[in-house]
Structure formats: C-alpha cells, structure tokens
A and B are shown apart, each in its own frame.
Chain A
Amino acid sequence: GAVVSQHPSWVICKSGTSVKIECRSLDFQATTMFWYRQFPKQSLMLMATSNEGSKATYEQGVEKDKFLINHASLTLSTLTVTSAHPEDSSFYICSARKRTGPNTEAFFGQGTRLTVV
C-alpha cells in the first residue's frame, strides 16, 4: 500500500503565531500533493495543489501569503499557516498521488486538527 504521514495530528497555538504542518509520502514518490481544509460536518475544500520543485497553485479565495506551501522533495510537502487567527482553526488534510498512474487513487494523511486560541 501507499502511506501518507501527516504531522502533527493536532496542534494548539496562540493567535498571531505560525504553525507548520508536514505531509510525507513514506513509501512512494509523489510529484503532486494536495492540501484540503475541512470544516465540521462538511466536505473537503481544496486549498492548493503542490508540485515538487515549483510554486503551489492556490484555489480561488485561498490566501497564498497566509497559507505557505513548500514541496521541496518528492516525499515532503509542508503547509505553514502564518499569523494564525481563531478563524483558521480547522482540520487540514493532505493527500498525495503516486508519480505514475493517472488513474490512481489519492492517498490521504491522517489530518491535523489546528486550534488557534
């Protein structure tokens, strides 16, 4: 199988600080990773698409200066929530697709519960 590890699983931070979330593909290479945000009892909202070695593509309405995404290697993408505010509190989920196979499913991390106080 393919394993995606997301860290941390949960984090509490003070308003105004920055938080970094890591997403790693443990046993495969992922040229593309996706970052989602999920509000309670709602579906996943795509935030950005992250391609290894290039700038992330952000969805409309997502502030790229607030949600910094770095995809420095084929196995690691990071999401940094800068100057976090309580309204940024949410469940953030990453997913990764294998380097080969256009019809492959996406593999998801376990998610990160961010609480900004």
Chain B
Amino acid sequence: AQSVAQPEDQVNVAEGNPLTVKCTYSVSGNPYLFWYVQYPNRGLQFLLKYITGDNLVKGSYGFEAEFNKSQTSFHLKKPSALVSDSALYFCAVRARNSGNTPLVFGKGTRLSVIA
C-alpha cells in the first residue's frame, strides 16, 4: 500500500526566510512524487514532480524539492518565502508500474508566511 505522511499541520515562517514543508512516503518499489498547492476554495495546482534523475527538482514559483531515497522523503523548500506563498500544500505519491491508479495524498500542510 502507498501512503504519504506530512508530519506538520501548520508551518509558520517569516517573509524572506527559507521554508521547508516535510513529506515522507511509503511505496513498493520506486516512486513518482508530486507537490501541489491549494489556495482557498480552489483546486490543486501542480508545483513539481520527481520522476527520475537528479534528486533535486525545481518547480514553479521558486519552489524545489529533494528526493532522498534512503530517508524516503521529498521535502518541499524555498530559499525565500513570500506572503503570497501562504496556502495549503499537498505531497502525493504513485508507485511506478502501478497502472492507472490515482495519486495518494498526504493530509496537507498549511503554510503561513508572515510579513
């Protein structure tokens, strides 16, 4: 079975400071990993994904994430947070060769960037 853990319900960071939103996963075999962001009353917007290759993945709006196989983690990072980054962030996973299965999501982490 696949699962995703986002250990923090809420992350607070001051504007201009670096931010990290944590994600660990459990999957049989190698994973496809994704990060999405959700603004209030909106659907999810794709930020970035890890498929293969370089463990450091760069995505939209200056976000990046590092795939760490030994720690089964895929933490989302940004060097300098903006107030507009405040939103709900979801990590998701799919196993390779899992056919047409849906993504499995974590419970989400609410990021608040304080001016």
By a beta-carbon cutoff of 8 Å, the part of chain A in contact with chain B is 4, 6, 10, 31-32, 34, 41-44, 46, 49, 51, 91, 93, 95, 97, 102-103, 105-111, 113
Chain B: interface residue total (CB-CB under 8 A): 24
**Assembly CA distance A109 to B41 (angstroms):** 11
30 of the cross-chain contacts (CB-CB < 8 Å) are A4-B43, A32-B100, A43-B90, A43-B105, A43-B106, A44-B44, A49-B100, A51-B100, A91-B41, A93-B43, A93-B44, A95-B44, A95-B102, A102-B96, A103-B49, A103-B96, A105-B34, A105-B46, A106-B46, A106-B102, A107-B46, A108-B36, A108-B44, A108-B45, A108-B46, A110-B43, A111-B41, A111-B42, A111-B43, A113-B41
By a beta-carbon cutoff of 8 Å, the part of chain B in contact with chain A is 32, 34, 36, 41-46, 49, 51, 90, 94, 96-97, 99-100, 102-103, 105-108, 110
**Assembly CA distance A11 to B43 (angstroms):** 16
**Assembly CA distance A111 to B88 (angstroms):** 15
In the complex, which residue of chain A has the Cβ closest to the Cβ of B107? Answer: A43
**Assembly CA distance A106 to B90 (angstroms):** 13
In the complex, which residue of chain B has the Cβ closest to the Cβ of A113? Answer: B41
In the complex, which residue of chain B has the Cβ closest to the Cβ of A107? Answer: B46
What residues of B have a CB within 8 angstroms of the CB of A102 in the complex? Answer: 96-97, 99-100
Contact B90 A44 (CB under 8 A): yes
What residues of B have a CB within 8 angstroms of the CB of A103 in the complex? Answer: 32, 49, 51, 94, 96
Given contacts A49-B102, A95-B102, A108-B45, 17 further A-B contacts (CB under 8 A): A10-B41, A42-B107, A43-B90, A44-B44, A44-B105, A49-B100, A102-B100, A103-B49, A106-B34, A106-B46, A106-B102, A108-B43, A108-B46, A110-B42, A110-B43, A111-B42, A111-B43
